Amino acid sequence: MRVVGCSNTLAIIETRKLAYTYPLAEKPAFVGVNLKVERGEFILLTGPSGCGKTTLCRCFNGLIPHFYGGKLEGELIVAGLKTSEHPIHEIAQHVGLVFQNPANQLFALTVEKDVAFGLENLGLPRDEIRRRVDWALKVTGIYDLRDKAPFELSGGQQQRVAIASVLAMQPEIIVLDEPTSFLDPLSARNILEVIHHLNREIGITVILVEHRLDLAARYANRVIVMKDGKIVLDGEPRRVFLDERVRLSGVGIPKVVKLYLTLIKDGLDLGKVPLSPEETSKLVMEALKLDRG
């Protein structure tokens, strides 16, 4: 099922000199953000705590400025809509936002009702709601859990419900704000696989805010690093991780990248910056000409 877009231009998100200051704040949360996101990209947005990445996320679906107030300067166009001129409920049909804490974004008493929530808000006919709910549940692999209460689910399952509820609205873009924060490593891995599937198979543009680059870097086609409210790096993961500024920004690059860098210093070039342990062992085997028995 391919998501049908509404914009003709290639860029699905476009910002020009975007800056935002929270109400009553002394200094802006971020400034000078110039960004162009193309349809189908998988963007990894990272940076130390307080760099402005979470704030930027909330601009994409209109929570900023409509819910938070404050001063939003510059231009932000998402799926053809100027966010400052459209209400959140309109933008939300194009941009889904999944939050960090799974429990606080599930309201209903059953998984099914929660996934249906957004669709009910949109006033869709019942059979359409039914169809989309079942589809979203199946895509995220939680169809069997549809009658369970959120309290009975594990953190990983709750996050899947959150993703399914957003997915059911069939947005072109899904933004996820540190979705693996509260999850154990195995659940984190599984959730990232689900998100990867949404991007690869269904074509949804993904913006993922994450600290755990070791888990997430392999899925992204683009990494954006923020620090002190500014974008300091923006590019292909392998190139960004090679850049010295990444370490200076306080971002934890994956250990396998550190390994690559320290090997180069001592004269062994693996040929490509690895983004996962699987890739690393393959590169090592090739570099050492090990027999693939």
**Cβ neighbourhood burial of 140 (10 Å; 0-12, 13-18, 19+):** buried
Identify any residues that bridge with 77 across adjacent strands, giving them in sequence order: 14, 82
CB of 128 to another protein, least distance (A): 9
Which is closer to another protein, CB of 28 or CB of 150? Answer: 150
Contact 33, 17 (CB under 8 A): yes
Please tell me the count of residues contacting another protein according to CB under 8 A.
Answer: 85
CB of 288 to another protein, least distance (A): 6
Single residue of 36, 86, 130, 222 touching another protein by CB under 8 A:
130
Which is closer to another protein, CB of 239 or CB of 258? Answer: 258
Cα separation, 265 vs 191, whole angstroms: 35
Other C-beta atoms lying within 10 Å of the C-beta of residue 61 = 24
Using DSSP, state whether 106 is helix, strand or coil: coil
Does 25 bind another protein (CB under 8 A)? Our answer is: no
Using DSSP, state whether 137 is helix, strand or coil: helix
Single residue of 182, 197, 230, 242 touching another protein by CB under 8 A:
182
Identify any residues that bridge with 248 across adjacent strands, giving them in sequence order: none
Please provide the size of the chain in residues: 293
Cα separation, 213 vs 274, whole angstroms: 12
CB of 66 to another protein, least distance (A): 8
DSSP 59: H
Does 108 bind another protein (CB under 8 A)? Our answer is: yes
Single residue of 13, 29, 44, 92 touching another protein by CB under 8 A:
92
Nearest to 150 by CA among 170, 164, 136: 164
Other C-beta atoms lying within 10 Å of the C-beta of residue 55 = 21
Taking CA 264 as the corner, what is the angle to CA 226 and CA 236, rounded to the nearest 5 degrees? 35
Which is closer to another protein, CB of 211 or CB of 222? Answer: 211
Single residue of 258, 271, 272, 286 touching another protein by CB under 8 A:
258
Which is closer to another protein, CB of 33 or CB of 174? Answer: 174
Does 185 bind another protein (CB under 8 A)? Our answer is: yes
Single residue of 101, 196, 203, 230 touching another protein by CB under 8 A:
101
The interface with another protein within residues 36-55 (CB under 8 A) comprises 47-50
CB of 17 to another protein, least distance (A): 25
Single residue of 25, 71, 121, 193 touching another protein by CB under 8 A:
121
Binding span for another protein by CB under 8 A among 3-11, 76-84, 195-203, 282-290: 282-290
